Amino acid sequence: MGLLIQRGEDWASRVDLFAVAGLYVATDHRYMILSEDQIEEDVVMYVGMDSMGLVYTAPQYPVNRVLDLCCGSGIQSLVASRYTKEAIGVDINPRAIRFARFNAQLNGISNTHFSVGNLYETTSGYFDTILANPPFVPSPSQECRFRDGGITGEEILAQIITESTKHLAPNGRVFIVSDLVNIQQYESKLEQWWQGGAAYKLVLSTADRNDILFSVPHCHTAFNQTWQQYNIELDQWLQNFNTTGLRTVNFGYILICQVDSIRTRSYYSRTIHNPNQPIYQYVQEYFQQRQLLEEQQISDCFLVMSPDLRFRLEISPTTGEREIELFSPNNPYFTTYQISEQMYRMLQDINHSQPKWQAYATAINQDWLYELIYKGILYLTLEAPAVNRNRRLKSPPPTEGLKIEELETKTTPTCISSYLR
């Protein structure tokens, strides 16, 4: 098959093999620099942090049909085969489809089907979940087809979201990994792109990059690049960034769940660490909490703080002033939060007493409680927590002085770091 080739007395591979969530995924090398690497068709994307991030982030609801757009080597379809009856992968690159079919056979998976096509053009029927890892990088050229998403990076992304509702089953879902250009505008962007009526929309971001932080990694080639070539390419990337209205480029995930028309549409954006382990159960919990907050029974729900979180206190030895951070040492669903003394006391109070919503929420503080629930710091449960019920519940504190600030994570993947890490 040509997968292994001989170099003198040694044997080498013409493809990379990645271990992904208990599967083996073969695909092209990130850098096709040797003579035997030269091919006459577009290369297939390597398995990077964005590929793995979508595997770790997209909720895995048991469903009938999943559509994997821009499927590449088939990684999303192969993982989805575990929770769907049928996974359909589509890619415009015929070589990608051959890799995806090979990987399905390699892993003994029989409920996936792959076809060459431009997004939705070859699909039929309706899908419960649409997954996508499209070309999303704002690029001055289209040389790297699996990466370059037009000069703003949103050319294919917008099309996927806009046309998705024509192919979604009732209460369908769309989960996408992407660069997020000018993320402060994403509520209005999704309002414009999404045509599917009422939905819960969640954007998970990591860190903003300015023109330099974004351009340098994309134009720096790992091998055989002269200083002159680097400068020319850097100028091209910087010019594209600054002439197309890009202020910052973040990286993250767009997650949209259709809901019944009687429910209230919502949008929320929050910061995470780019995941190196599964967080999809926490993402799924976000959508469940959204739905629960719309129901009347929440008065009997208990408020509980996430057990994955920790407090870090730093005290000045001269002034005694305290700085307080909330963080998780091992759960990438959370970033680090700077909180005020008043917020610290309120969270401590909730953590120790785990009160019922009706006993703690007031017209004044409930917006703060909602915010903490949306961030996953607090959650509602109908199950009575195992706490000391003899502990006296303090009166809800005043909201003056309550403050929480999300810190960027600086874990944004780049073309080079995601491969050479």
Distance CA 30, CA 43 (A): 9
Q: Are 102 and 190 in a shared domain? A: yes
Distance CA 173, CA 312 (A): 37
Question: Which distant-in-sequence residues (6+ apart) come within 8 Å of 213 by Cβ?
Answer: none
Closest of 67, 120, 371 to residue 58, by C-alpha: 67
Question: Which distant-in-sequence residues (6+ apart) come within 8 Å of 200 by Cβ?
Answer: 256, 257, 259, 265, 266, 287, 290, 291
Determine what percent of the chain is predicted with pLDDT higher than 90. 75
Closest of 278, 270, 277, 276 to residue 253, by C-alpha: 270
Q: Are 82 and 199 in a shared domain? A: yes
Cβ-in-10-Å burial (0-12, 13-18, 19+) of 315 comes to exposed
Q: Are 300 and 165 in a shared domain? A: no
Q: Are 180 and 326 in a shared domain? A: no
Distance CA 78, CA 102 (A): 11
Domain boundary among 233, 260, 293: 293
pLDDT at 395 over 80: no
pLDDT in tens, 152-171: 999 999 999 999 999 999 99
Q: Are 109 and 197 in a shared domain? A: yes
Q: Are 44 and 169 in a shared domain? A: yes
Q: Are 134 and 161 in a shared domain? A: yes
Q: Are 199 and 307 in a shared domain? A: no
CATH number of the structural domain spanning residue 115? 3.40.50.150
What integer pLDDT is reported at residue 240 of this predicted model?
A: 95
pLDDT in tens, 303-331: 999 999 999 999 989 888 899 999 999 99
What integer pLDDT is reported at residue 1 of this predicted model?
A: 79
Q: Is residue 275 part of a domain?
A: yes
Mean pLDDT of 212-222: 87
- Backbone dihedral angles phi then psi of residue 260, each to the nearest 5 degrees: -60, 150
Q: Is residue 11 part of a domain?
A: no
Q: Is residue 418 part of a domain?
A: no
* Least confident among 21-25, 266-270, 416-420: 416-420
Decide if 289 contacts 380 (C-beta within 8 A): yes
Q: Are 103 and 158 in a shared domain? A: yes
pLDDT tier, 145 (very low <50, low <70, confident <90, very high otherwise): confident
Token pair for 131: 């997954």
Domain boundary among 273, 293, 313: 293
Buried b (16+ CB within 10 A) or exposed e, 53-71: bbbbbbbbbebebbbbbbb
pLDDT in tens, 24-55: 999 998 888 888 888 888 999 999 999 999 99
What integer pLDDT is reported at residue 296 of this predicted model?
A: 67
pLDDT at 375 over 90: yes
Q: Cα dihedral sign for 231, 235, 237, 238? A: positive
pLDDT in tens, 70-105: 999 999 999 999 999 999 999 999 999 999 999 999
Domain boundary among 293, 327, 360: 293
Mean pLDDT of 2-8: 86
Q: Are 282 and 321 in a shared domain? A: no
pLDDT in tens, 243-284: 999 999 999 999 999 999 888 899 999 999 999 999 999 999
Q: Pairing between strand 266-271 and 302-305?
A: unpaired
pLDDT tier, 3 (very low <50, low <70, confident <90, very high otherwise): confident
Q: Pairing between strand 63-69 and 302-305?
A: unpaired
* Least confident among 83-87, 146-150, 361-365, 390-394: 390-394
What integer pLDDT is reported at residue 376 of this predicted model?
A: 97
Mean pLDDT of 180-205: 96
Mean pLDDT of 398-412: 81
Decide if 222 contacts 211 (C-beta within 8 A): no
Distance CA 138, CA 181 (A): 8
Whose tokens are 């990591």? That residue is 206
Mean pLDDT of 336-361: 93
Question: Which distant-in-sequence residues (6+ apart) come within 8 Å of 366 by Cβ?
Answer: none
pLDDT at 417 over 60: no
Q: Is residue 267 part of a domain?
A: yes
Q: Are 135 and 54 in a shared domain? A: yes
Q: Is residue 118 part of a domain?
A: yes
Decide if 349 contacts 397 (C-beta within 8 A): yes
The total domain count for the chain is 2
Q: What is the DSSP letter of 418?
A: H
Whose tokens are 């600054």? That residue is 242
Chain CA centroid to CA 190, Å: 16
Q: Is residue 34 part of a domain?
A: no
Token pair for 329: 């040492």
Domain hosting residue 107, numbered range = 39-208+248-293
Whose tokens are 């720096």? That residue is 220
What integer pLDDT is reported at residue 76 of this predicted model?
A: 98
What integer pLDDT is reported at residue 373 of this predicted model?
A: 97
pLDDT in tens, 100-136: 999 999 999 999 999 999 999 999 999 999 999 999 9
pLDDT in tens, 294-305: 876 788 899 999
Q: Is residue 421 part of a domain?
A: no
Stated as kind and residue range, the H or E segment containing 181 is: strand 168-181
C-beta neighbour count of 31 within 10 angstroms: 16
pLDDT at 416 over 70: no
Token pair for 403: 């403050």
What integer pLDDT is reported at residue 419 of this predicted model?
A: 41
Q: Are 287 and 364 in a shared domain? A: no
Coil, strand or helix: which one is 385?
A: coil
Closest of 55, 134, 127 to residue 88, by C-alpha: 127
Q: Is residue 241 part of a domain?
A: no
Residues in the chain: 421
Coil, strand or helix: which one is 256?
A: strand
- For helices 366-374 and 280-293, the axis angle rounded to 10 degrees is 150
